[in-house]
Structure 1
């Protein structure tokens, strides 16, 4: 902490001395050159841009070369741009609109002859395509698109899927350019709104509950940047999502709205789930959203406000037909289990068939905008989001999950952002943003406390008891950001100097399996009181409260960045952006474990383990991350018909703080964890308060998991390059093509350094090491060391065709994109726990010896199209239709062996299969259902019918080398608006219908989505070793093979259509 304090003092002194910070994108800009008819510059010409709705004025004079730049402008419009020069005709352009992040060029030649005005060059952008400030790939999403395209969840993710390089899954998880979904940055009004700790897969505060961070009605527009070669934008390897909220204007504007979904507005059971059986409706549920917004002037042209409130009461059914369950147990067996738990332990596990989860949320957003004077504007925003989720356990084809194995989750987020935009004469401007966010997440299990139990059930699983990761789970986040840009305008140059500072304080109560966690080989073993085959238990070593909060770690993290950039207008058609950024993270030290740092380190080093200098309690050293970038934009002929753009540079990403946060809790001093297998496991104990704990070792140290980070650990960095062309074609068509390459400089990798070397290598076909569950130091269960690797890369190619057709009464806008993305790496980082990062990695030779392989985030082939139609029947009657189509390859998955004993390295069931060339290589053994010969006949047929496996005979399967099926989905929005005019105001009533998977509504056999659990198909079961002790034997259950394409019938994004109807009044 001392080194952080010292640096803070120096940083604060520097900040007040220089007043330069950094930020996310919140504004737009104008630029151009003013000349006479001969092309000679007109220095001192006056350029005035007036934001008509608010009366906000932006005025500058051209420099010696006739150039002008107006930065930090409000987005939207319309603007009126007036250019004047003594002795020359004035130029006036109305209806100029600015998109978020856009740098629009307005250049003109002035003369006493009015006809010269025909030579005015306005880069007015076709949906943000032609933009003189655009270098790398981005997607701008306007308020019009938000209003017209289909959305049911009313979440940013519904629109992020418009980005060619983005992959959006059903739980609103956004991966961009083949990168980890946690390697994105999210800004709202310029302030960081990431789930900085990193537990939410969708990356937003409150995201674990399923709530969106802000109401769509509060958003003006947003932008998704994939490769912005602008050093002001950083903190991501994937993409940056920037949203700005609405502001009040001189015109009073408001709206009240309500949206509804229920079982009558949804399709029946997908055909492929029931075959010839009867299709059923969803169980009764309701989902309601209602809210209101209002904005207007407090003082005309001076002071404005905007308010929005939204309430959501959502129920989400999870239907389950027991006839689709692939496990061995019958319906009577499961019912008997529930009765057994009640009668023997007094525990009610809840039901296990159709379940319903619920979400109740409140969102409040307020924003004040103050035009202090013509040179300064201040904006202050506060948002409040409270969400309460109750998520019952839900069963599926692969597992029976009793309701009380679910969780309850309350999340409260408060976020405040202050932005000051200043113009200092014609030479300087400044943009300052200060943000402060607090997040409180409290997660608890449902039902009465009970140990967690997993029962292997053939091709299925049975789960009951308190959810393993919710028994002691509380998170408090405090994040302060100071951000600013200081711009200097000098001739053809726009020089930016800045710094970015983010201060985070985290407190995390997390003890997984705090009530005990047992795994049994079969249902009968559990009923007969047999020993489990695995036991896990996490607990606090400090105090004795039931929630183990005394052992909760609290830590600080600080990151600062300084940068400089020069944006050069080489001429009116060619712009180069060159910048250099320095990021420095500071990590606090943790609690020291003297036993580990002396005795255990000596054992590890004697075993040949390289700790890279890591010790318990020692934080990561501050290190400088350098990010040079170079971008360009070339309007080839100066006619806005051919634009070539691109760039290259280094991007430094954030990491979810939960990863290094593990070092503050999993230290062997404040927390304990025990994992036992084989003959050491204790008998099942139904009392969650008296679970078996790891006893003190001879040294006096209590064991558990240890998390370490190498002292020289570096944040993820990628080298990005992007080359693109935008071309206007005949008939008003615009074509864009982008190629993006990401190459890892420093990615994250884990090693369990407590695993001893291989004890032997298996014999027979497909030889691999077996580690015999041997540890270097038995005091500790696992010791995970995080460090860096330079391996891994990704690329994406895309091509887009777009066309607009706009008349007085008809507005049609359409685009279609094909994209293909590949990604590979060592570790995908899909978990919030360091242990799971390592355990769940599919490998041939063990998780300590992973190979470069296809990433979970490889997008594959994807086709996206969207069309919006607006029919203006009269001034007061309009019809809007929005269509969205996505055809995409399914997610990649791996073929693995079920059973940890094959590798015996304490990993999960993640050993990649050996694909037998013939029956003798399969090493199958008889089961109660099938003989080895019968199994081989079925397995051989499956391999032969699988394009991938057929080509891998005699070899190991590769990680993520196969994919789930393609899906083809069309979503539809229909809106009918009726208006009534009173004076100058039109009061409007709008009826809407958003239909997700409209494809399935058209035809019950269309719109099928599939998935694979955890990106794995456990094709073979490990049955132990042959009598020689080294030859592994296996069994094949044909039901296992059915898990490669499970029909998705979960939530909103499923294989059945769902409709949301809405009613809105606005003025």
Structure 2
């Protein structure tokens, strides 16, 4: 042991207790909504923990080696006392139990120790030398010291390797935004429809957050990204009450005119007013915490073209409650309930951005989301060594969109000018959806000497009640230029004088769709030596996605996910560790797949020669709008993606599909520097295996067909199809084809079938180095800095596509045909090569506190998508740009293409965001006041964060897209926030 370690050990013993000491290294694992206390003391001694807040008391007896453990402890502060044969061992101490972690506390007698002089103060080491996972814990107190928005998403992005992605989601370690899981008090609140969002709670209701970025134990699954774990506040023996007033969007700067098109986010404010109360119903037994929050939203913005003005209003109520019943010292019961229903209205007006004038309101859209949620959790301490936890709950999320003009107005776009809607509605669908999760799980911990066994099971029943149609007559009208090839819908446009065409699209669906997910897990945390812990886990999972008639559609079981981790306190002084883990993680199929692929889905597309605009008058407003005039039909109706019936789906889904999973490997090091500073480094390697996506099969080995099949690109596909010698179009046999070389029909210039083509397998790898430097808060100041160097490469971002803005999880364009990803391996949209994150807080005086944050990350790579390929005449997304001989007079084989690999066109610029806050605290007896003023994006950076990446029109080989590389997303302008909190 080195000199510093010896001094620390002596100091710990002199104080009677030490955390993470050299005397013991107990396995330190905790469940997903509480923490644990572990350690070593005199063999046979009685260790008692008592909560000063609730009076909860529990005593365990140390085993023959002196080890003791308190699993499933609610988050909070505890007093710890140890006695042996009626005599106290050491001194009583107070420890903090944090979310998802175990506090390692060794208690030893100082009877035989010579006097030790203690100089100064010490801060307990933040390094948990018994943990093998990668996680960041952040408390509400730390957030209050920083200029950080009061929501789970912003808190999560404080962790290294985590950043905001498309569709309002978060990317963990190169993953797409549709691969994460979010838990509140152990209840999974992740959106299972599309896996992007989650149920929301106000910050005033939350106590602590844990962001798991890798290496998490086998009790967590159904994610190939990361885990956000949060717990709410609870009541105590003292009555407390308070109010939080949040005024957001103050002093907001106007968005810049980046491209000559207008995109404004001006005068958008969201003010929240929360009141809460907590206390005992029965002292030492039954406690409550209740909260009510009023949410007012007032926003306005224009569309990109500056032709429409939108005014958004929301006036919503949130309520939440937490009940904790300490039945006795061995049995606890807690109830969580909250409602995050959110209704907003958006009024639409014609607008002239050159004058700033707006006309009369011509439509109002109603949006509803959120729902009622609850969970009941029982904790039982069956013996000193065996404990259990049981949870049952329901998570509800509604999604409803409709407008006043839905009955009368059709969707109309003139895509020759912009993507804006020019009809009397911009509501792209009339949707009514309710997603309900019924969740049940049971978890056990059993301490057997050097082995801590953890095992359990969880089951989820996820049901979506869904209906969706286009407004008006149910058709969407899109006007586009006829491409240079003059080929539309697979044929030559019959009118040689036509310059534009109209595509009408009818999309409709409805039904009840159910998915069942279940898992069992077992884990051994083995203290091999006093300084070495091994974590050995195994998780078994099964997913069953059902169609609208309740039949299994995509069913996968026997998914085995092994996990292995280690933590080595190599100096034996609790101040440094080497840790690592390797694990497999499976991703379930989102419910949107059941709904869009296994329901009575209708997707009928027809094409017509465009003969100009007529007029349509909205009967409710009297306002006249353009209405496309349809000429001669081009080609035939395409309903290959859905004809409005469920039917026999064995021809539309692989009957032997492999699941999507990711293997992860992590090796890390952490070390204390003095008593307040620590640093660490972590190397990460992630590899995603397989994808489940819709593939257009045009040749099955026997006949030419045209059907979309859910399958694993580049792997064997077994499906029901047509094998009749006459190829009559009727499915008659089950066939297996190797989609790495089969499935897509190839034709020569004369239209003769000459062979087949296959798909490449989905690939994604993430390599990163993370460096973290941290100074713990000591009532004076704190500092945290991290740098992440990462490389995310492959041909598949994940279940959603950021580069083509496709948000239906598992239904991307990436594998619609073999050419979308042909030679398309490269840097992926979530590849931010360099990321710096800084946060600091400083107590300027007794009542004043300064906070600051700085985020800097390099821009994402940009691709340029073409519309053709050098293999066949398909007109769709690809990484090939037609350079010569692109017009119709040239045969497909004569076209000359340029390869533009994924992410190789350019990179977006670095994005910087600087925030600052100042807070004033004052006590008036038992009443405490806190006022915080924060400014976000101080330098008013409005860097482009995404662009249009389509070089050619999607259905037009050689036809330039006029909006290519035009910005479609920017940093939000500078704004301020004021928070006033009063607590009693």
- Residue 622 of structure 1: how far off its partner (Å): 4.1
Structure 1 residues 1035 and 1057: CA distance shift in structure 2, 3 A = closer
State the partner residue of 1:430: 388
Identify the residue that residue 769 of structure 2 maps to in structure 1.
Answer: 797
Report the Cα offset of residue 443 of structure 1: 1.3
Matched, 1:195 2:194: no
For residues 383-398 of structure 1, the aligned pairs below 5 Å read 383-391=338-346
1:734–1:406 Cα change, 3 Å: farther
Matching of residues 41-56 of structure 1 within 5 Å: 42-56=42-56
Structure with the higher strand share, 1 or 2: 2
Q: Which residue of 1 aligns with 2:490?
A: none
SS in 1 for 2:452: strand
Matched, 1:450 2:409: yes
Cα distance between partner residues in 2 of 1:555 and 1:361: 29
1:267 counterpart residue number = 253
Q: 1:659 to 1:406 in 2, by over 3 A?
A: farther
The CA distance in 1 between the partners of 2:781 and 2:393, in whole Å, is 39
Q: Which residue of structure 2 aligns with residue 651 of structure 1?
A: 585
- Please give the secondary structure, in 2, of the residue aligned with 1:636: coil
Q: 1:723 and 1:143, CA in 2 relative to 1: closer, same or farther beyond 3 A?
A: same
From the superposition, tell whether residues 387 and 47 of structure 1 become closer, same or farther in structure 2 (CA, over 3 Å).
same
> Residues 315-714 of structure 1 correspond to what in structure 2 (within 5 A)?
315-318=298-301, 352-391=307-346, 407-445=365-403, 447-448=405-406, 449-457=408-416, 460-465=418-423, 470-511=428-469, 515-521=474-480, 533-538=501-506, 552-591=510-549, 619-665=553-599, 670-677=600-607, 703=643, 708-714=652-658
8 Å CA contact 1:843–1:912 kept in 2: the answer is no
SS at match of 1:725: strand
In structure 2, the CA distance between the partners of 1:414 and 1:490, relative to structure 1 (3 Å rule), is same
Secondary structure at the residue paired with 2:836?
Answer: strand
Aligned pair partner of 2:909 in 961, 965, 970: 965
Conserved? CA contact 2:458–2:519, under 8 Å: yes
Distance apart, 1:135 and its partner CA:
1.0
Cα deviation digits, residues 78-117 of structure 1 (max 9, x gap): x211122227652234231121011111123335336599
Distance in 2 between residues matched to 1:418 and 1:304, nearest whole Å: 15
Alignment of 1:892-903 (within 5 A): 892-897=861-866
The answer for the alignment partner of 2:201 in structure 1 is 214
Deviation for aligned residue 1:32 = 1.3
| Structure 2 counterpart of 1:743 | 687
Q: 812, 822, 846: which is aligned to 2:819?
A: 846
Give secondary structure in 2 for the equivalent of 1:965.
Answer: coil
SS of residue matched to 1:846: coil
Aligned residue number for residue 884 of structure 1: 853
- What's the counterpart of residue 100 of structure 2? 101
In the TM superposition, residue 522 of structure 1 has moved relative to its aligned partner by 6.3
Q: Give TM-score, length-normalised by structure 2.
A: 0.78
Map 1:804-823 onto structure 2 (within 5 A). Answer: 804=776, 806=778, 810-823=780-793
Distance in 2 separating the partners of 1:897 and 1:700: 23
Deviation at 1:853, TM superposition (A): 3.8
Pick the aligned partner of 1:856 from 784, 804, 829.
Answer: 829
Aligned 8 A contact 1:590 1:663 in 2: no
**What TM-score comes out, normalization by structure 1 length?**
0.73
Tell me how far apart the structure 2 counterparts of residues 890 and 976 of structure 1 sit (CA, whole Å).
Answer: 37
SS at match of 1:856: coil
**1:574 and 1:864 mapped to 2: Cα distance?**
32
Once the 2 structures are TM-superposed, how far is the Cα of residue 183 of structure 1 from its aligned partner?
1.1
Shift of 1:486: 1.1
Among candidates 184, 198, 207, match of residue 204 of structure 1: 198
The answer as to whether partners of 1:658 and 1:833 remain within 8 angstroms in 2 is no
The 1:576/1:283 distance shift into structure 2, 3 A limit, reads closer
**Deviation digits for residues 214-233 of structure 1, max 9, x if unmatched?**
01110010111122341111
> How far 1:791 sits from its partner (Å)?
3.0
Deviations along 1:869-892, whole A, 9 cap, x unmatched? 23452xxxx222221111012233
**Equivalent pair of 1:924/1:1035 in contact (CA under 8 Å):** no
Measure the CA separation in 2 of the matches of 1:137 and 1:838: 31
Q: What is the match of residue 939 of structure 2?
A: 999
- Greater Cα offset, 581-590 or 960-969: 581-590
Q: 1:462 to 1:446 in 2, by over 3 A?
A: same
Contact 1:33–1:572 (CA under 8 A) maintained in structure 2: no
Three-state SS of the structure 2 residue aligned to 1:113 is coil
Deviations 1:392-448 (A, max 9, x none): 679999xx9999788421124111111111112212111111111233321114545
Q: Which has the higher helix share?
A: 1
| Residue of structure 2 aligned with 1:255, choices 218, 242, 256 | 242
Q: Which residue matches 1:548?
A: none
Matches within 5 A, 1:226-237: 226-237=213-224
Asked if the contact 1:273/1:1047 (under 8 Å) is kept, the reply is no
SS at match of 1:992: strand
Secondary structure of 1:178's match? coil
- Structure-2 change in CA distance of 1:848 and 1:637 (3 Å): closer
**1:289 and 2:272 aligned:** yes
SS of corresponding position for 2:772: strand
CA deviation profile, 1:608-630 (whole Å, cap 9, x unmatched)? xxxxxxxxx76223421101111
SS at the partner of 2:598? helix
DSSP 3-state at the match of 1:182: coil
Aligned mates of 1:59, 1:160 — CA distance in 2: 36
Q: CA distance change for structure 1 residues 1034 and 680 in 2, over 3 Å: closer, same or farther?
A: closer
Q: Contact 1:404 / 1:446 at 8 angstroms: preserved in 2?
A: no
Q: Which of the numbers 868, 878, 881 marks the counterpart of 1:914?
A: 881
Partner of 1:241: 228
Give the SS at the match of 2:579: strand
Q: How many Å apart are 1:701 and its aligned residue? A: 14
Output the CA distance in 1 between the equivalents of 2:641 and 2:829.
39
Structure 1: distance between partners of 2:122 and 2:439: 34
CA distance in structure 2 between the aligned counterparts of 1:835 and 1:76, rounded to whole angstroms: 40
From 734, 737, 743, give the equivalent of 2:678: 734
The runs of 5 or more residues in structure 2 that have no matched partner are 1-28, 483-496, 620-626, 706-721, 732-742, 745-757, 889-895
Q: CA 1:701–1:522 in 2, change beyond 3 Å: closer, same or farther? A: closer
Q: 1:895 to 1:849 in 2, by over 3 A?
A: closer
Aligned partners of 1:795, 1:149: CA distance in 2, in Å?
30
Question: In the TM superposition, what is the alpha-carbon distance from 1:863 to its structure 2 partner?
Answer: 0.7
Q: In the alignment, is the contact (CA less than 8 A) between 2:800 and 2:807 conserved in 1?
A: no
Question: Matches of 1:587 and 1:957 in 2, distance apart?
Answer: 37
- Given that 2:504 and 2:607 are in contact with CA atoms closer than 8 Å, whether structure 1 keeps it comes out as no
| Residue 701 to residue 81, structure 1, CA distance change in 2 (3 Å) | closer
1:979 Cα offset (Å): 1.9
CA distance in 2, matches of 1:123, 1:1047: 47
In the alignment, what sits opposite 1:142? 139
User: Are the counterparts in 1 of residues 933 and 979 from structure 2 also a CA contact under 8 Å?
Assistant: yes
Aligned-residue offset at 1:25: 0.4
Q: Contact 1:229–1:577 at 8 Å: present in 2 too?
A: no
Q: CA deviation at 1:636?
A: 1.5
Quote the offset at 1:244 in angstroms.
0.5
DSSP 3-state at the match of 1:223: strand
CA contact (8 A) 1:989 1:1064 kept: yes
Deviates further, 720-729 or 852-861: 852-861
Kindly tell me the number of residue pairs found equivalent between the two proteins.
862
